[in-house]
Amino acid sequence: MEHVLIVALAIAFLALLISRIHFHFSFNLTISRRGATDATPLSASRATIRRERERATCPGEALPAIHSIQDRGVTKALETASASAEADLASALVNLGCKRPKAYVIAKLAMQQASDFDGRLKWAIRQAA
């Protein structure tokens, strides 16, 4: 009786696994910015979608989602964050014993030297030493 139960559970598990694999490869949900009229059907394969996308765009043309953001609010937020990071760098240099005017000059230069705060801080400390 135990063996029958184990075999039945193994068959059920195998059926569940096969149905999950089938669902994974057959279900392809595509979210398109083009609208419902131009959208590809859900049953289309990834290769079909890729070919349609390549055919729709010229070789030098960028996709709509890749265009840069031209929002004043975003630009202002980025400038504010940059100014805050620069002030934090200057404050850290002052706390380490650097003169205030020199700390602000080094912090302004450090903002152009690295892409992350740690890199900027390390560069600023090397310059202040």
Which are the contacts of 96, defined by CB distance < 8 A and separation ≥ 6?
Answer: 125, 128
pLDDT by residue (tens digit) across 53-101? 766 655 555 555 555 556 777 788 888 888 888 888 899 888 888 888 8
- Work out the average pLDDT over 26-52: 56
Q: Over the chain, what is the mean pLDDT? A: 76
DSSP class per residue in the chain: -HHHHHHHHHHHHHHHHHHHHHHHHH------SS-TTTPPPTT--HHHHHHHHHHHS-TTPPPGGGSPP--HHHHHHHHHHHHHHHHHHHHHHHHTT--HHHHHHHHHHHTTT-SSHHHHHHHHHHHH-
